[in-house]
Each structure stands twice: as C-alpha cells, then as structure tokens.
Amino acid sequence: VEPAEAGRLRETAIGKARAVAVTVDAGDAFLDEIVEKMQPDMLQLHGSETPERVAEIKARYGLPVMKALPVSDTADLERTRPFVGIADRFLFDAKPPKGSQLPGGNGIAFDWRLLAGLDAGVDYMLSGGLNAANIGDALRLANPPGLDISSGVESAPGVKDPALIEQFFRAVKAARDSRAA
C-alpha cells in the first residue's frame, strides 16, 4: 500500500484502532513520506535494522517503534537484548523459509514455548502462522501481551476474509474465557 493510500485508510480507523506502518529496510526518504502522508501511531521495522538504526528512526520521528525479529530457536530470542531500551515493543515471527520473498506473513508458526524464558519486562506481539485453529495453544503456551495476524485470516494471499477474522476473534475469546474459568 502506498503511503497516500495508507493515510486514507488510517482516517477511517481514527478513534477505533492504532495505525502501524509496517516497513522493511526503509530509507529515510520513504519513512519521511510514510510519516507525512499516513501519520502512523507506530512504526514496525520488519527488516535487518540494527539497534543503532532503530534508535535513529525513533529519534527522527518521535514515534514508538516495534522491531520485528524472526524466531526459530532460543538463540534468535537472544537477538532482542541489543534492542531492549531502544525498541518500544517486539514482534516475534517465524523465520521465513529459505527463498521466501516475504519477511513475514508466510503462515508459518514457531515453537511458542521458546517465549516462556523471555524476560517478563519485554513487551511483544506474537506473530507467525496464527489462525483460529491454533490460537488457543498459542495463548496457553506463550501468553503474549499482543497478537499480530495476517495470513491466518486470508482467503488468498493478501486478501483478508471477514469470516476468518470473526472466527479468529471468537477463538481468542473462547481461549481467554477457558483460562479465566
């Protein structure tokens, strides 16, 4: 989605949802355009940004920053350490398969039990292969503070399906209700 279109979409969400601009290794000129035209509430950095680059972006735009990190094992979670105190939040997603063109949204889950050893002070969102069929397990095993879902509610790549979105939220509610009981 181009920044101007994202800005138009954002207008429909004001007061209903926070707008997050998802970027992959974006340069300053493109980020300038995104911030100007979309006016996001947060920037999600889904590329190979270093802690220094994340700090630079955060300082330049004065916006909260979420750093996405691919996970397949415990060593991957160690990569959060240099970003702690810089990134406001993390997004833990499954490592994309070799040769994938997308850094996320591949419909692949990782072992959510890996997150059990994460420092309780680390704010994060869980992503990667989430759908109505597995969200109960994800919530039980990882107890994430936030969820990010993409391909799990798509009827085709890039096409969100309202029925699948509704099923997903019903499954989240059922999982949370069963944990509270």
Query: Which domains can be identified in the chain, with CATH numbers?
Result: 3-148 (3.20.20.70)
Using alpha carbons, select from 99, 31, 97 the residue that is nearest to residue 70. Answer: 97
Which segments of the chain have a pLDDT < 70?
A: 96-97, 99-106, 181
Using alpha carbons, select from 123, 93, 81, 82 the residue that is nearest to residue 24. Answer: 93
- Provide the CA 28 distance to its chain's centre, in angstroms: 21
- Structure confidence at residue 102 (pLDDT): 58
Phi, psi of 34 (to 5 degrees): -60, -50
- The tens digit of pLDDT for each residue in 87-110 reads 999 999 988 667 666 555 557 788
Global pTM? 0.88
